[in-house]
Amino acid sequence: MGSNGRSNFDVLVVGAGPAGMAAAARAAESGARTGLVDENFRPGGQIWRSACEDAPTDARHWIQRCTSAGVTFLCGMRVVDHLKPGVLTAELMDRTHEIGYQQLVVATGARERFLPFSGWTLPNVMGAGGLQAMVKSGLPIQGRRVVVAGTGPLLLAVAASLQKHRARVLMVCEQASWITLARFAVALIGQTGKVAQAAQLKKELKSVPFVPNSWPVAAEGNDVIETVTISRAGKLEKIACDYLACGFHLVPNTELAALLGCKLANDYVQVDDLQRTTVPGVFCAGEPTGIGGVELALVEGQIAGLAAGGNIGAAKDLSAESKKLKKFAVHLERTFQLRKGLQFLAKPDTIVCRCEDVSYSRLERYQNWRSAKLQTRCGMGACQGRICGPATHFLFNWTPDSVRPPIFPARVESLAALASHPEPEQQTAVGGH
């Protein structure tokens, strides 16, 4: 166990995706001593995750701006706790690090939502973004048969990316109906950037069937997936494949904001027009405040960074643009709402909590998340309910408990280091589970 380090910043940004990088750049350009912490070994977040050489232009632009403005990158550090006001604890491979701040920008992004269906725990059934990430991390996909399924704009982007890596994308199954998708398309008119993106994806995927009103019913195979059964226009169709890339849109990562005491409303972190949360000195930008995509994240990040850096005037100048882009977020939410029928994909013996192998039939008798947790250990495994929480929210309308530190499983050594820290105020016992 290495010795504990310490850094101090005027503005600390957590999460180096689009929102976080924009926030860090604008804060540093405003003259603030700025740090940007991210658990990945490179900045970019999930959406811009890639090797530096093929990073998208936008990503390179913001990395460049952060670098020029003197932002300190703290990569490979996972924030696990909020020690006291103004100090976060992060964990590296072999030690912990304390990061002090005056102002904090939470830009923790989103994760995919997964829904349980028969066979979804088989190896090679992955998230849509999940498979894409593995391919970008070196998984050879050339010639492999992939079915992409679920809901949300990510599906097409993933299908196009996999195809670029020479995968055989057999089908893209979207649970939304043609009608809602058509309404969405109409709503995009006037947003030239988004229309161009959609047209480009469609062109790239012209040989791949895009099937609305369809979703996976079961994955089958011995040790890995071999076939997937798709419900398509009311009929079942079995497709042989090597991978099923399946994600049901996104859910915000609000754990850190919740731990800091920020108020959530309808599952999202509540912010004002300067991205200020309900906790003084804490800002939030990007997906945790509403799933709105890269463009909105960049604008919100800039507003948060400028405001945190004390440049309120410049922050206010961006609010009109932010409002315009938020309309897109509303359309996204409406279009990719989950149809009720997907609740019935989980069979009695389908695993819902993958960490503890808790099946649907063991959960359905409980009234809420807390009693299910206590009786079955659902949500008490390594992922701390990050996967089964959104699933049980959809299946049973349960809401997760309040967040307790550490927000990620931390090593015993880190917990010891945290506990040995002099603590003036009362705080939930660290490692209290």
Partner 1 sequence: MPEVLVLRVNGTPLEVPAGVTVGVAVMLAGQPCRMSASGQPRGPLCGMGICFECRVTINGRPHCRSCQILCESGMDVRTDG
Interacting residues toward partner 1 by CB under 8 A: 39-41, 46, 49, 51, 111-112, 114, 121-127, 129-134, 137-140, 223-224, 351, 354-357, 381-383, 386-387, 409
Q: Under DSSP, is residue 327 helix (H, G, I), strand (E, B) or coil?
A: helix
Name residues whose C-beta falls within 8 Å of residue 40's C-beta, 6 or more positions apart in sequence.
16, 49, 75, 76
Question: Phi-psi bin for 78: left (phi > 0), alpha (psi -120 to 50), beta?
Answer: beta
Provide the minimum distance between the beta carbon of 112 and partner 1 in the complex, in angstroms, as a whole number.
Answer: 6
Beta carbons of 282 and 268 less than 8 angstroms apart: no
Rounded least distance, CB 383 to partner 1, Å = 5
**Start-to-end CA span in the chain (Å):** 22
- Quick one: 279 or 383, whose CB is closer to partner 1? 383
Of 306 and 355, the one with the shorter C-beta distance to partner 1 is 355
Question: Which lies closer to partner 1 via its Cβ, residue 10 or residue 255?
Answer: 255
CB of 356 to partner 1, least distance (A): 6
CB of 432 to partner 1, least distance (A): 19
Q: Are 303 and 285 in contact (CB under 8 A)?
A: yes
Q: How far apart are CA 160 and CA 158, in angstroms?
A: 5
Residue 19 or 27: which CB sits closer to partner 1? Answer: 19
Q: How far is 377 from 385, CA to CA, in rounded Å?
A: 10
Q: Tell me the backbone φ, ψ of residue 79, rounded to 5 degrees.
A: -70, 125
* DSSP-assigned states of every residue in 127-157: -HHHHHHHHHTT---TT-EEEEEEESTHHHH
The nearer residue to partner 1, 69 or 79, going by C-beta atoms, is 79
Task: Please say which residue, 219 or 299, places its beta carbon nearer to partner 1.
Answer: 219
Give the separation between CA 322 and CA 68, rounded to whole angstroms.
25
Considering the complex, state which of residue 309 and residue 405 has its C-beta at the smaller distance from partner 1: 405
Q: How far is the CB of 188 from partner 1 (least distance, A)?
A: 27
Return all residues near 153 (Cβ < 8 A) that are at least 6 apart: 293, 332, 336
Q: How far is CA 66 from CA 11, 174, 193, 201, 305, in A?
A: 13, 37, 25, 30, 12
CB of 191 to partner 1, least distance (A): 28
**Smallest separation (angstroms) from partner 1 to the CB of 382:** 4
* Burial of residue 87 (number of CB atoms within 10 Å: 0-12, 13-18, 19+): middle
CB 177 within 8 A of CB 214: no
For residue 32, the minimal CB distance to partner 1 (Å) is 29
Q: Looking at beta carbons only, is 223 or 425 nearer to partner 1?
A: 223
